[in-house]
Chain A
């Protein structure tokens, strides 16, 4: 589904609105009613539901679960929350169009979502131009809160700089010096590779990059890529591929022995959305960031997992957790702001302290980046499925950019 309405009652009104805009005669006439106490707070959401369903569908289920809980508990100040969710087409052009529609046609208070980093950056730019609040869900590029950050854009998840920092911390003792890098050729892959080069050079004496491959996102020629990496005879490999590219890369790499005797550090591969499709071919021994949900024993998290499984008869993915946390963060923000005025919401978000099911998180005002951490561990295969072992939760705080670096990088 590309279009998901959480409060079904608004369908007819929206259909009418669309019709009005389409015909171009009376658009806007029926929309701007004054807010009543029980009127829902409309929130716009956009994500790559058709291109990256593996992540985004669980993510949507996650925030819908939270939304249901929040509205059952009375919403915010007695007003229920309503999320209008749309497909962002996974391209910058489509995403900005959809964002614009959400803001000007559906009159949402603010928007959140997006998956790809380049799409996130485009929507952030739109938010800045349009003075609309945007909370990025999955785009991880550090540029979103650094060089291209703006005061209207916030992010909950640990960015590439933080996650790469955690990974480097986990592999710096391995002794590997000659590294090969493989990353998808777009913002996320590029920024992860850049961050890795910087962070690893600082942490690993004698670090050098002996090969780099940047296949286009979704278009990897895995055999040739694996051969090219093998050719450089690296000690270790840093991988940023995910999704279908990752599956092909792992299969070819396993068959050709690329990973044997080598340290592999890999972003996101331990997240169930990318690990489960690999089944028993999940590459053993890789050091990954991920989400060992079945092994996390804290009570709030267990309650979340139970509720999720009960509602969807499916196991949670990282996206589920993220969506769930994000929706609660939105509630806290709205409660603190006391209105849907953009400036009030921004003020509320800056320095916001929230208790998530994975622990406390703070939103740093300097770069609008939250301190949420990530789980880092080692992959094994267990009962025909990938599984993270020897994992540990890294809190995000220590891995963030220094405030000086933020000041130097940000232009606002």
Chain B
């Protein structure tokens, strides 16, 4: 059985149908890329899986359990870690502090009014920061970081909950070419070694074709093609609606 099963998700904003009947699966250890032009509905779909948006219809099943519309906290506890297209981090906290927040949440220490927070889970946080390539930035406030580094913080935050599924909305936006390669390699490594499913979007086709096991093409809210990178590269419709415009 697959890790994530998404069945018939739909969502509209006023008149705009941002997602229509979106159905797909992600298996543990598998990297699935979702591509499509701007406004295709990728982020909307991610947010419905991650719990930030309530779908109009359809269901989200993680590991056999329905988490449709249960909200982001339930999704996180169920094992979904995510990054946002527009980074969302805690600007006034340090890199370690950001990651520690997630660890405190994972260990259910959110209402603890007595322990010193500074040293709490700091070692784990430092290790996670090092893992995403932020070893030298551990004690810097994230408000001062470059955009690419913020994306790394987001990844570390997502990993802090030892997720089973990673949702990554444009994880390498704002990074230099060699950094992208590195980061995607890291993600792929995590997916394989820890058997984590990864669903990601990316405008950089090189990354997509280099790392994805499976590609979904979204257009105007609907999936118009799916298959291996090779199949997608060859698909005429995809070339017409997407690659043509993106080129």
| Contact present between A and B (CB < 8 A) | no
